[in-house]
């Protein structure tokens, strides 16, 4: 596990890691929707043909669009929330953690049921994918951001 590079006076509030269960739910859902849309043309040959083709269309989606590799890229992510920053430890990169000051976060929104989009004042967005209990993650991020920027006192 990577060392936590905390600044003086900074406190670790939370840590989150991606969940394989949430990734698999997302993968099956998106593959199924794609299979339904792509398989609509096959429906003209009958319901049985169309239903039999769904697993094949789902497999084609997963293999052609490489969605299954997203887990390989994201499974080692470690998100850490401190009293001053949101940090991402990406175990596939050796550059060290990426971080954003909480005061630079302008908005935190859920994206479907598998991710949170964090918007920053410079216009950039980062996505926190496959974390369990997204409402709780969003709430903690917003509370920490408000406390860091003094909005909680207003």
pTM of the model: 0.80
- Phi first, then psi, for residue 103 (nearest 5°) are -65, -20
Residue 48's Cα: distance from chain center in Å? 36
Return per-residue pLDDT of the chain as tens, 154 residues: 556 678 888 999 999 999 999 998 888 888 777 777 766 666 677 777 777 777 777 777 777 776 778 888 889 899 999 999 999 987 666 666 789 999 999 999 999 889 999 999 999 999 999 999 999 999 999 999 999 888 655 4
Indicate the domain borders of the chain: 12-18+77-153, 22-71
- Phi first, then psi, for residue 96 (nearest 5°) are 95, 180
CATH topology of domain 12-18+77-153: PH-domain like (2.30.29)
| Per-residue burial over 70-102, b = 16 or more CB atoms within 10 Å of its CB, e = otherwise | bbeebeebbbbbbebbbbbbbeeeeeebebbeb
Q: Which of 139, 140, 131 is nearest to 112 (CA)?
A: 131
């Amino acid at each position: 596990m990577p060392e936590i590079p905390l600044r003086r006076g900074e406190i670790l509030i939370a840590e989150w890691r991606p969940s394989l269960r949430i990734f698999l739910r997302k993968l099956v859902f998106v593959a199924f929707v794609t299979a339904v849309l792509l398989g609509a043309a096959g429906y003209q040959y009958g319901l049985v043909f169309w239903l039999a083709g769904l697993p094949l269309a789902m497999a084609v989606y997963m293999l052609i669009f490489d969605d299954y590799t997203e887990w390989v890229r994201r499974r080692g992510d470690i998100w850490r929330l401190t009293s001053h920053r949101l940090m991402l430890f990406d175990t596939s990169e050796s550059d060290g953690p990426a971080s954003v000051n909480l005061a630079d976060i302008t908005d935190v929104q859920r994206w479907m049921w598998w991710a949170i989009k964090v918007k920053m004042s410079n216009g950039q967005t980062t996505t926190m994918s496959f974390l369990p209990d997204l409402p709780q993650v969003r709430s903690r991020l917003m509370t920490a951001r408000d406390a860091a920027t003094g909005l909680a006192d207003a």
